[in-house]
Chains A and B, each alone.
Chain A
Amino acid sequence: MSGFLGFLIDGAMYAAWLFLIAVGLTLIFGVMGILNMAHGSFYAFGAYTAAMAVGVWLGTGRAPLVSYLVLIVAGIVAGVVLGALVDRGLLRFLRGREPTALLLVTYALFLILEDVIKLIWGVDPYVVSEPYALLGSFSIGPLSYPNYTLIIVLAAVLSGLALTWFLQFTRKGKMLRAVIHDAEMSQSVGIDVDRWFFITFVTGTVLACLAGALVAPTISVVPGMGVEVIVLMFAVVVIGGLGSIPGAAVGALLVGFVRSAAVHYWPEAELFSIYGVMALILVVRPKGLFAAPEPRKI
């Protein structure tokens, strides 16, 4: 019984982490048509920035509880700077290129960022586990979990709800949906499409960096952490349907529980089960679970 409970809780926590990163990826694709291969590197960038900031903060010996604020601010600042830089300096000039060309552009960006991270922070791991241990833990039956993991779940739920609310129930959200539907048409009725692209890309980057910042205390931040994350995120967003936020949620839950089940009941299958599910979904529904059908264009 405790095994099953463990499977459920682990699955949910893993899903929350997946969703937090994947939602930015799917948002950027939905609006701009860019499948961002550098998204994992954005996540790593956020983790490094936050780990360094918290390390500095704790080094000064001030109130350790404030380190949570430092964590979040560091993630947001890293995301805004990086996102703005990439969009204004590069993607702005490549609007309207075909999706595969943009895929290669972000792959090149991924290569660049991997080394930039190494050049800035070196190759030694960063460990800042203080914020993780500080909150204590809770227990369900015989199982004990650190309270910190709840923060990640909370952040995932909040970001998902906030984005859905914005897109569905606000005036600005309606404008953004118009851009998603038909960028050219939106431009012609006076919506500043380029500005929306910029805002979307920065938001997506902030979400990735924030996820990295929140995860940083729970892991040791090492070079190459983005390399493994990005393929996982592809599985999540492709399963749900590229560009769909509910899709990303369903994809995250599916991948989260599949991996958790594999870890608990069949450890050998941990990695390939995720990609097995991804391939299976793509075979049955080529555009993912939640993607709208698209007319063929001549």
Chain B
Amino acid sequence: MTEHRFLVLIAVCAVALLAGGWLLPSWSFVINVAIAKAIAVLGLVLLMRAGLVSFGQALFYCIGGYTAGVLATNYKISEALIVVPLAGFLAGVVGFLLGFLMRRYRDIFFAMLSLAFSMILFGVLVKSADFGGTDGFNITAPTLFGMRITGQARFFGYAFAVVLLALSVIAAWRFTRTPIGMIADAIRENEIRVEYLGVSATRSIHVLYTLAALLAGIGGALNALTVGHVDPEMAFWTTSGEFVVIAVLGGAASLVTPIAAALILEVIRTFAYQYAPNAWQLVLGVVTLALIVFLPTGFAGLLRRRREVSNRSAADAVN
């Protein structure tokens, strides 16, 4: 896909999301939460392109959320334009530091070490009286350009989230066009050959990990500001697991389909909680299983396969 077409696609999607939020204000909260998750998943997808499955993105999601919470509650800084980048930056710094360790690990050991780090944070937060223990704490409503986002102004908060998502996708897409971004596929296929070619796989993984941490931090901060509450559950391993499921459903080959997966899942979940609260995970599990067994590349693979078929028939027609 050319850059021009990609930007048009993102712009159309963003406008559609904005229109949706404008027409259905009661759904804007659900979509807002989905957007927060989608940004975190975006980072995970970048990692998964290199064949690394992190079961610990919740660590950075939680760091982002608590940073936003502490800034708003303790320092009275609730301007979203300051809080969100700062939270992302902090998560990115933590990710950069942990990256020196994480980049040495692969496969299951990468998954397990990332899980251990997120569970350490969970263990600390659960017992910390300052942060409200297992209950967490509430956050005052944020401001945007100095305007308080409550009541009628909620739409501007929603628009901010949509713009943030669009910018994140464009940034992630741009990144996949850089040499380090492009080498990710090669690392997944065969890391040693990549090293033979003179490229450092470890350093590329370090960059990917830091970037994923930054995006998860932004997602976490956005989630905290939207919900108005943070608790240690944000760092629990099931949060990371949810990100992984979304990424698998969307397929790591594309950047847009995981976002669609996050949105669709959140909407379905809202209905499922109402009508079948005890069968929601069952359905999710069956769908995930079916995708891994029958369609290992996710929905993105489905799109690509159709495109390949149509290209082939076009080529046949020419011949």
Q: Given A110-B285, A119-B279, A283–B53 Cβ distance below 8 Å?
A: no
Interface of B: prevailing SS:
helix
Tell me, yes or no, whether B228 is within 8 Å of chain A by CB: no
Distance between Cα atoms of A108 and B246 in the complex (Å): 12
Which B residues are in CB contact (< 8 Å) with A73?
none
Tell me, yes or no, whether B120 is within 8 Å of chain A by CB: yes
Report whether A278 and B281 are in contact in the complex, using a CB–CB cutoff of 8 Å.
no
Report whether B108 and A242 are in contact in the complex, using a CB–CB cutoff of 8 Å.
yes
A33 and chain B: residue at smallest CB distance: B108
Counted as pairs of residues, one from A and one from B, with CB atoms less than 8 Å apart, the total is 126
What range describes how many residues of A lie at the interface?
35 or more
Tell me, yes or no, whether A68 is within 8 Å of chain B by CB: no
Distance between Cα atoms of A269 and B124 in the complex (Å): 7
Report whether B296 and A101 are in contact in the complex, using a CB–CB cutoff of 8 Å.
yes
What range describes how many residues of B lie at the interface?
35 or more
Q: Given A100-B51, A108-B289, A286-B109, A270–B127 Cβ distance below 8 Å?
A: yes
Tell me, yes or no, whether A167 is within 8 Å of chain B by CB: no
Most chain B CB atoms below 10 A, which of A100, A267, A283:
A100
Min CB gap A223→B, angstroms: 9
Interface stretch, picked from B87-95, B111-119, B145-153, is: B111-119
Distance between Cα atoms of A25 and B51 in the complex (Å): 24
Which B residues are in CB contact (< 8 Å) with A94?
293
Which B residues are in CB contact (< 8 Å) with A296?
192
Distance between Cα atoms of A101 and B295 in the complex (Å): 12
Most chain A CB atoms below 10 A, which of B109, B124, B285, B286:
B285
A90 and chain B: residue at smallest CB distance: B289
Min CB gap A292→B, angstroms: 14
Distance between Cα atoms of A116 and B280 in the complex (Å): 10
Which B residues are in CB contact (< 8 Å) with A110?
285
Min CB gap B282→A, angstroms: 4
Report whether A268 and B127 are in contact in the complex, using a CB–CB cutoff of 8 Å.
yes
Min CB gap A62→B, angstroms: 33
The listed residue (B101, B105, B238, B282) touching A115 by CB distance below 8 A is: B282
Which B residues are in CB contact (< 8 Å) with A268?
127-128
Q: Given A99-B107, A100-B107, A104-B248, A111–B116 Cβ distance below 8 Å?
A: no
Distance between Cα atoms of A272 and B118 in the complex (Å): 10
Q: Given A115-B278, A275-B120, A103–B285 Cβ distance below 8 Å?
A: no
Q: Which of A59-111 contact B (CB under 8 A)?
A: 90, 93-94, 99-101, 103-105, 107-111
Tell me, yes or no, whether A298 is within 8 Å of chain B by CB: yes
Distance between Cα atoms of A59 and B245 in the complex (Å): 43
Distance between Cα atoms of A115 and B273 in the complex (Å): 13
Distance between Cα atoms of A170 and B51 in the complex (Å): 39
Report whether A109 and B285 are in contact in the complex, using a CB–CB cutoff of 8 Å.
yes
Min CB gap B52→A, angstroms: 8
Q: Given A100-B107, A270-B123, A111–B281 Cβ distance below 8 Å?
A: yes
Report whether B237 and A231 are in contact in the complex, using a CB–CB cutoff of 8 Å.
yes
Distance between Cα atoms of A242 and B190 in the complex (Å): 24
Report whether A238 and B292 are in contact in the complex, using a CB–CB cutoff of 8 Å.
no
Report whether A283 and B288 are in contact in the complex, using a CB–CB cutoff of 8 Å.
no
Report whether A272 and B120 are in contact in the complex, using a CB–CB cutoff of 8 Å.
yes
Tell me, yes or no, whether B126 is within 8 Å of chain A by CB: yes
Tell me, yes or no, whether A9 is within 8 Å of chain B by CB: no
Report whether B108 and A100 are in contact in the complex, using a CB–CB cutoff of 8 Å.
yes
Tell me, yes or no, whether B305 is within 8 Å of chain A by CB: no
Q: Which of B43-74 contact A (CB under 8 A)?
A: 51, 53
Tell me, yes or no, whether A234 is within 8 Å of chain B by CB: yes
Distance between Cα atoms of A276 and B279 in the complex (Å): 35
Which A residues are in CB contact (< 8 Å) with B296?
101
Report whether A231 and B292 are in contact in the complex, using a CB–CB cutoff of 8 Å.
no
Report whether A107 and B245 are in contact in the complex, using a CB–CB cutoff of 8 Å.
yes
Which B residues are in CB contact (< 8 Å) with A235?
116, 119
Report whether A279 and B126 are in contact in the complex, using a CB–CB cutoff of 8 Å.
no
Min CB gap B79→A, angstroms: 32
Q: Given A115-B278, A227-B238, A272–B116 Cβ distance below 8 Å?
A: no
Tell me, yes or no, whether A118 is within 8 Å of chain B by CB: yes
Q: Which of A248-273 contact B (CB under 8 A)?
A: 267-273
Tell me, yes or no, whether B104 is within 8 Å of chain A by CB: yes
Distance between Cα atoms of A296 and B196 in the complex (Å): 14
Leading 5 A-B pairs by shortest Cβ distance: A272-B123, A271-B123, A111-B285, A112-B285, A115-B282
User: What would 6 more interface pairs be, CB under 8 Å, given A108-B288, A274-B119?
Assistant: A108-B289, A109-B289, A275-B117, A278-B119, A279-B117, A298-B190
A residues at B contact (CB < 8 Å): 35, 90, 93-94, 99-101, 103-105, 107-112, 114-116, 118-119, 123, 227, 231, 234-235, 238, 242, 267-276, 278-279, 282-283, 286-287, 296, 298
Q: List 17 A-B contacts (CB under 8 A).
A: A35-B108, A100-B51, A108-B292, A111-B281, A111-B285, A111-B288, A112-B285, A112-B286, A115-B282, A116-B282, A234-B115, A272-B119, A279-B113, A279-B116, A279-B117, A283-B113, A298-B193
